[in-house]
Amino acid sequence: MNNIKTDSIYKNIQDAIRKAGENLGFSDTTITNITNPYNIITESIEVQGIDVPIDMYRVQFNNALGPYKGGIRFHPDVNLDEVKTLAITMMLKCSLVGIPMGGAKGGATLNPRDYDEKQLEAVARAWVRTMKDHIGVDKDIPAPDVNTNGQIMSYMVDEFEKLVGHSEPGVITGKPIAIGGSLGRTQATSQGGVYSLLKILEYFPEKAGDKKVVIQGFGNVGSYAATILDKEGFTIVGISDSRGAIYNPAGLDVQTIAEKKRQSRESLQDMFATNEDVIKLSNDELLVQECDILIPAALENQITDQNASDIKAGVILELANNPTSIAADKILNANNVLLIPDFLANAGGVTVSYFEWVQNRQQYYWTAKEVDERLFKFMTDATDKTYALGQKENLTLREAGFKLAVERIGKAVALRGNK
Ligand code: NAD
């Protein structure tokens, strides 16, 4: 991924919002408000134990619906355009699923593989010191994203509370249960995506085919999507990590693989180095293998005009953010591939983050069943609404979702009198 690619994704999203906003009759000022970030914070910071300064980012896109909300990514490709793109997507997501939060995103430009646990803790704490005045339970609530997890969130909440001098667990979501996390948060993005997928398959049962699934990315989101779908009776035939893919048309034992993968840094291909039933493929090859459902769960811009026409799946569930380029979207649509867009498909993560924030504020915690039932309701309601508008106005799920999301956020901005 490079800047040019994310830059164009950002511009495409801005254009799509502008178009939807114009169709909905919003003023130019309202449209400007929902296509440009309210605040951008970026600093290059010296971190103890690391010999190069680290670039830190927070983009606060829009808070008309409630406090800013969005994850923090640690990755060597993190740059301002990428963070802006992820922040505008968060705004759409919160708006579409109907939670009272705005959009934001953050990041630090580094390759976590180059650092040990102590150094990553130092980066997490330095990120919070940099952003201290901009985040808070009623201001902006970060969460995990690529290469950040419950442990990193624990360092962050600890640093923030030390700085402000009081307990404020709701400043960060995606925390471990022991320090105020919500039951169900770790697998929420994947579980929410599965609820949306199953709902869509109720409307298009023929698309389920033989229920064979390929998943790109086997981190938090990809691995839970695999194990949840496996339990739902789907067969996971291919998975990948950053170092390559494994494929077995007869199915992979994803429960065991996920267990192993969470406990070691071994690559998927190394895990199966001597197993001849399992075919080793590149990540690009994996995307075009035979399957019914393809789930990108890694990074941006993986399905492009270069590979879209070779995709065999009938359904794409975008658990990653912005995995499909606009050009690819058109090709997939022409080929009758049904695409469940990121800002709907992966909204389960921010939905349970919102539940965590509510529980932190009340200091009263819900059971796993309560979390799950509420997640189910948010995801299936948003999916139903998107499907219904798509049918009514002959729109794709992405176009319908865009329209619904822009309508809610645009109304809130206009009612506030714009900035
Ligand atoms: P993660 O760091 O836990 O996992 C990322 C996975 O992608 C890893 O398996 C990594 O090896 C793999 N990967 C990296 N580069 C790759 C490449 N070029 N090809 C194939 N695989 C590659 O991150 P995550 O939290 O699982 O996030 C994955 C995606 O889901 C991201 O797009 C993220 O923005 C999105 N997302 C995450 C959440 C969440 O709650 N964690 C919520 C919404 C959306």
73-419-101 Cα angle (round to 5): 40
Residue to probe by mutation, ligand 1, list 74, 241, 262, 289, most atoms within 8 Å of CB: 241
Residue 320 near ligand 1, beta carbon < 6 Å: yes
118 is catalytic: no
84, 93, 105, 261: which one is catalytic? 105
The tokens for 39 are 């605040």
What backbone phi and psi angles, to 5 degrees, belong to 237? -95, -20
What ligand 1 atom has the least distance to the C-alpha of 245?
20
Q: How many Å apart are CA 234 and CA 228, to the nearest integer?
A: 9
Q: How many Å apart are CA 321 and CA 303, to the nearest integer?
A: 12
Q: How many CB atoms lie within 10 A of CB 318?
A: 24
* pLDDT at residue 2, as a whole number: 38
3-state helix, strand, coil in the chain (%, to 5): 50, 15, 35
Query: Which residue's alpha carbon is nearest to atom 28 within ligand 1?
Result: 298
Q: How many Å apart are CA 250 and CA 277, to the nearest integer?
A: 9
Q: pTM of the entire structure?
A: 0.94
Residue among 152, 160, 209, 224 at smallest CA distance from 375:
224
* pLDDT at residue 6, as a whole number: 54
Q: How many Å apart are CA 376 and CA 139, to the nearest integer?
A: 27
**Alpha carbon of 106 to ligand 1 centroid (Å):** 15
* pLDDT at residue 265, as a whole number: 85
**Alpha carbon of 272 to ligand 1 centroid (Å):** 21
Q: How many Å apart are CA 369 and CA 191, to the nearest integer?
A: 13
**Alpha carbon of 393 to ligand 1 centroid (Å):** 33
Query: Which residue's alpha carbon is nearest to atom 5 within ligand 1?
Result: 219
Query: Which residue's alpha carbon is nearest to atom 17 within ligand 1?
Result: 242
- In order along its 419 residues, the chain shows pLDDT tens digits of 334 455 588 999 999 999 999 999 999 999 999 999 999 999 999 999 999 999 999 999 999 999 999 999 999 999 999 999 999 999 999 999 999 999 999 999 999 999 999 999 999 999 999 999 999 999 999 999 999 999 999 999 999 999 999 999 999 999 999 999 999 999 999 999 999 999 999 999 999 999 999 999 999 999 999 999 999 999 999 999 999 999 999 999 999 999 999 898 899 999 999 999 999 999 999 999 999 999 999 988 999 999 999 999 999 999 999 999 888 999 999 999 999 999 999 999 999 999 999 999 999 999 999 999 999 999 999 999 999 999 999 999 999 999 999 999 999 999 998 66
Given a contact cutoff of 8 angstroms between Cβ atoms, the answer to whether 46 and 127 are in contact is no
Given a contact cutoff of 8 angstroms between Cβ atoms, the answer to whether 141 and 357 are in contact is yes
Q: How far is CA 171 from CA 133, 188, 374, 375, 388, in A?
A: 12, 19, 22, 21, 36
| Burial bucket for residue 373 (CB in 10 Å: 0-12, 13-18, 19+) | exposed
Given a contact cutoff of 8 angstroms between Cβ atoms, the answer to whether 304 and 284 are in contact is no
Given a contact cutoff of 8 angstroms between Cβ atoms, the answer to whether 240 and 218 are in contact is yes
Q: How many Å apart are CA 244 and CA 246, to the nearest integer?
A: 7
Residue to probe by mutation, ligand 1, list 90, 153, 242, most atoms within 8 Å of CB: 242
**Alpha carbon of 219 to ligand 1 centroid (Å):** 6
